[in-house]
Chains A and B, each alone.
Chain A
């Protein structure tokens, strides 16, 4: 395996330690529990395990085998080769957290650049080094708001069109916080931002919306942001960072906290993870952010460099007084996003975002023209939209899968009453031909 010792070396080491066998080193382990049989399959060589894994992987039908219109929080985008070639550098992926800045400037500067890119995209003043994913970043926004008001404001409002999984995670995280209530999730999923306004009061700590929202819609949240601030509450917007290549940054709507799922920025679908949790704020809240931050400074000879900073907030120093237990970030995923955005640049990112927008709109128009189907988005949308089907969306998906098409997300799974609604995502990966194939297959739904 990966143990280099020869028999002779082992014996020499045992002699130096002063024991006769390796077993003797485990005398502290209660004898009745010591050395249990571990019933695993026999060991495989690299060649054998790769064959087994290839077989397993080929049992799947991936988004490369099927035509995919599935999104709902994870998106199929093209990842230029340059991104993975950077990630594959052992200097990055086999390094630990950069606690020793003298020998970690590579990781530290890459994170500093990541933080800068997130600020550029979102318009916010400061980004942390990332959270686990969009869902946990959203929960961290709520924790920040709760502590900002020292637990005195106990209401958190989420729009029903915030990703349902984010809302689930928020509930799981916050269930230990006394007297806290999370409301808004049970409003009509198609409600618009102004329908949140009646819920806002002086007990509201945070209002969370999504941009584009879970149903693909893009709203101008300026008016909502003003209402939130009139009540003295904080305003968080969960974003798709790729959409920000085209759309107004959330800072323009008065966001205090911007969170989001960074997966669209050069991170493979990989069956749901690892992804990248974006978290950015205005400067007044910087010292309350959970997770790591990299700051610029100088060394003892005045040379520019980077360090992990504001570590006094963190759990390893504050222990039970810390407001978060986080001690890792998605370092390598942040590097992927940094490499992706660097490689695409200002023009490339805008181009990809526009391709998504254009193709989604073409798809929506074509689908809306099919008898029995309609597109219910009556406001602008980005690259995802809701199709009302003549039969349950789950059945539509079954029919599409027969044609090797991953249809979309069955909204009935998360919104009772929307069983006939399909959430369709279109990205730069979908050609016009694929969109036309989808429409032909949907046509068959009518005939079938």
Chain B
């Protein structure tokens, strides 16, 4: 039985939350600007709580079970993060308060900038971008601003490997770049020969995800970066896969010029059902002046008795502001908490165990699932979800069948260079028991694919709804349960 909408639950005259009566003399309302109708639902507080509790029970989530969604880094979100972000001193500060009244916030942001610099090997970090895609757009804008500043505006071509996230080409195109694709070689690395062929005086840069979306560390990464730099281009690092690299290597050391971080992937801030994310950007020393404004700096040095005075600074050649205020501060508090709890002793373990878990799953699954690129993976790997002797079954069916076993499906149909891709990222927070259960289920599904394929084709069976009619959704387009008159 479907949960009714809040409009269907509404009962005229019902009141949820009450507010105090007006304690000031009344001023007439501007009648010609006052609305006649306010077609909103009317519910009690109990109605609201039950409704959203019912809805929540229709969701799968990390708190419930294994979520091996490749490229998304669905690690456990520590509960302490939520307490931290809700401390009244953080949650109730206004973004435009005088800096003397917000030194705690600024100190936290400054320290987080420093931590991210140390972890990545970059010279400076801006915390402003709202999400990975926006961080990526900022990275591309910085590259454009750099070339413009050097009077090399003819550099209009952005090179993007065919394994890249779809946001890479979209961000480049949005910033006015022409996108040039380079293929992946048979070991899963950027094809060096092809890269050399496309690099020239019109090259603005390369957008590189490393480890790439196959979960493979590019064995020639230093050479790839050298080729692009030699042509006068810059190299952008997509930080979506940073969970493989903490304490393992620093993108700044490898020669990347600019990179975004996903606080909601690597640094455990919750995904929130699709956001908010947070996508800080780090840059090498030659790009520091282009960062989006503002960034947090020290205005007056402190001493033994006095902490420093923190404040906002605007880089001199800044690309400008990319969102209102200073970024997703609530996410910064969570990421700061997470990094502080790992410290210098434990940070590297995050990536070590993320990579251990991925290789363990890969080792156990490859006897049954085809692995197109056969070498040690990093934090994720990509299998093919099909068998020649089970012709009707595709990756989608495997994904849907997993739901019947209470496991969230891996990412499927990405990366595009693998047919029927199943992209699996276990993260470090899963135990061996949890991984073993996943293996058991995956092997069982492989068997079912051969013996009872109809079980997969009609899956899932135990979920609140079955496979949805997406064609109808797009054709009829019902986006709102309230019909304007």
Q: Does B197 contact A (CB under 8 A)?
A: no
- Contact segment of B281-289, B387-395, B476-484: B476-484
Question: Could you tell me if A106 and B58 are in contact, using CB atoms closer than 8 angstroms?
Answer: yes
Contact A298 B468 (CB under 8 A): yes
Which residue of chain A has its CB nearest to the CB of B13?
A: A347
**1/0 contact trace for A103-124 toward B, CB 8 Å?**
1111101111101110111010
451-485 of chain B: CB within 8 A of chain A: 458, 460, 463-470, 472-474, 476-482, 484
Among A227-235, A311-319, A440-448, the stretch that binds chain B is: A311-319
In the assembled complex, B243 has its CB within 8 A of some CB on chain A: no
Which B88-109 residues have a C-beta within 8 angstroms of A? 88-98, 100-105, 107-108
Please tell me if the beta carbons of B96 and A70 are within 8 angstroms of each other in the complex: yes
What 1/0 mask marks residues of chain B from 317 to 346 whose CB sits below 8 Å from any chain A CB? 001111111111111010001011111111
Q: Decide if A35 touches B247 in the complex (CB within 8 Å).
A: yes
Partner of A60, one of B104, B136, B325, B458: B104
What chain B residues lie within 8 Å of A96 (beta carbons)? Answer: 67, 69, 72, 74, 271, 273-274, 408
CA distance A11 to B17 in the complex (A): 56
- Looking at B29, B271, B272, B349, which has the most chain A CB atoms within 10 Å of its CB? B272
Known A-B contacts A123-B484, A297-B472, A342-B48; A165 and B325 likewise in contact (beta carbons under 8 Å): yes
Report the minimum CB–CB distance from B431 to chain A (whole Å): 4
- Would B2 and A274 count as touching, CB distance under 8 A? no
A346–B467 contact, CB under 8 A?
no
**B481 CB contacts on chain A under 8 angstroms:** 112-113, 116, 296
Closest residue on chain B to residue A107 by CB atoms: B273
Q: Is the CB of A57 within 8 A of B104?
A: yes
Is A129 among interface residues, defined by CB-CB distance under 8 A?
yes
Q: Are A59 and B89 in contact (CB under 8 A)?
A: yes
CB contact between A25 and one of B359, B428, B466, B472 (< 8 Å): that residue = B359
A342 touches B41 (CB 8 A): yes
- Say if the beta carbon of A384 comes within 8 Å of chain B: no
Interface residues of A in 85-116 (CB under 8 A from B): 85-86, 88-98, 100-107, 109-113, 115-116
Whether A320 lies near B173 (C-beta < 8 A) is yes
**Does chain A have a CB within 8 A of B248?**
yes
Which A154-182 residues sit within 8 Å CB-CB of chain B?
163, 165-166, 168-169, 171-173, 175-178
B interface footprint on A173-201 (CB within 8 Å = 1, 0 otherwise): 10111100000000000000000000000
State in angstroms the CA–CA spacing of A74 and B480 once bound together: 27
Please name all residues of chain B whose beta carbon is closer than 8 Å to the beta carbon of A30 when the two chains form the complex: 221-222, 249, 254
B35: Cβ under 8 A from any A Cβ: yes
Would you give the shortest CB distance from A4 to chain B, in whole angstroms? 4
Is B368 engaged at the interface, CB distance under 8 Å to the other chain?
no
- Which residues on B sit within 8 Å (CB–CB) of A25? 352, 355-356, 359, 376
Inter-chain contact A348/B15, CB cutoff 8 Å: yes
Q: Does A13 contact B (CB under 8 A)?
A: yes
Q: Which of A270, A306, A349 has the most CB of B within 10 A?
A: A270
Residues in chain B near residue A292, CB distance under 8 A? 274
- CB contacts (< 8 Å) of A359 on chain B: these are 22, 24
Chain B residues lying within 8 Å of A45, measured Cβ to Cβ, are: 341
Task: Tell me how many residues of B have a C-beta within 8 Å of chain A.
Answer: 200
Contact indicator A133/B324 (Cβ below 8 Å) = yes
For residue B130, which residues in chain A have a CB less than 8 angstroms away from its CB? Answer: 132-133, 136, 273-274
Cβ distance B118 to chain A, nearest Cβ, rounded Å = 6
Instruction: Give CA–CA (A112, B83) in the complex, Å.
Output: 29
CB-defined interface of B43-56 with A at 8 Å, one 1/0 digit per residue?
10100110111011
The reply on B131 being an interface residue by CB < 8 A is yes
Q: Do A346 and B40 have beta carbons less than 8 Å apart?
A: yes
A168 to B39, CA, bound (A): 34
Given A103-B408, A325-B167, A328-B274, check contact A119 B484 (CB 8 Å): yes
| B200 interface contact, C-beta 8 A | no
B59 CB, min distance to chain A CBs, angstroms: 4
The CA of A310 and the CA of B320, in the complex, are separated in Å by 32
Most buried by B among A112, A116, A163, A268: A116
Min distance, Cβ A366 to any Cβ of chain B, angstroms: 9
* Set of chain B residues within 8 Å of A395, measured between Cβ atoms: none
Interchain nearest-CB distance for A15 vs B (Å): 10
Contact partners of A298 in chain B: CB under 8 A: 468-469, 472
B473 touches A307 (CB 8 A): yes
Q: Do residues B270 and A94 form an inter-chain contact, with CB atoms below 8 A?
A: yes
Write out the residue numbers on chain B whose beta carbons fall within 8 Å of the beta carbon of A130.
275
Q: What residues of chain A lie closer than 8 Å to B357, measured between beta carbons?
A: 13
With beta carbons under 8 angstroms apart, the residue of A41, A163, A274 that contacts B328 is A274
Question: Per-residue 0/1 for B228-264: is the Cβ within 8 Å of any A Cβ (1 yes, 0 no)?
Answer: 0000000000000000001111100110000000000
CA distance A107 to B52 in the complex (A): 10
| Complex contact B167–A316 (CB within 8 A) | yes
- Nearest-Cβ distance from residue A170 to partner chain B, whole angstroms: 10
Q: Is the CB of A56 within 8 A of B468?
A: no
A39 to B114, CA, bound (A): 10
Q: Is the CB of B78 within 8 A of A2?
A: yes
Knowing A116-B5, A120-B482, A248-B35, say if A133 contacts B323 (CB, 8 Å). yes
Q: Is the CB of B344 within 8 A of A41?
A: yes
Asked if residues B2 and A304 are in contact (CB atoms below 8 Å), the reply is: yes
Interchain CB contact under 8 A, B323 and A57: no
Whether, in the assembled complex, A305 has its beta carbon less than 8 Å from a beta carbon of chain B, the answer is yes
| CB 8 Å contact bits of A63-101 with B (1 = contact, 0 = none) | 110101010111010101010111011111111111011
Known: A13-B356, A321-B173, A342-B51. A132 touches B323 (CB 8 A): yes
Which residues of the partner chain A approach B136 to less than 8 Å between Cβ atoms? 325
A256 close to chain B: CB less than 8 A: no
Stretch at the interface among A202-210, A239-247, A367-375: A239-247
| Among A9, A56, A352, residue most surrounded by chain B Cβ atoms (within 10 Å) | A56
Give the Cβ gap from B135 to chain A, nearest Cβ, in Å.
10
- Does A420 lie at the interface of the complex (its beta carbon under 8 Å from any beta carbon of B)? no
Contacts A40-B115, A102-B465, A380-B30 hold; do A273 and B327 have CB atoms under 8 A apart? yes
Given contacts A33-B253, A325-B174, contact A100 B408 (CB under 8 A): yes
Complex CA gap A22/B248 in Å reads 11
Q: Kindly identify which residue among A1, A52, A106, A299 contacts B342, using a CB–CB cutoff of 8 Å.
A: A1
**Whose C-beta in chain A lies nearest to the C-beta of B119?**
A38
6 residue pairs bridging A and B, Cβ less than 8 Å apart: A38-B118, A63-B94, A86-B52, A136-B322, A271-B93, A271-B326
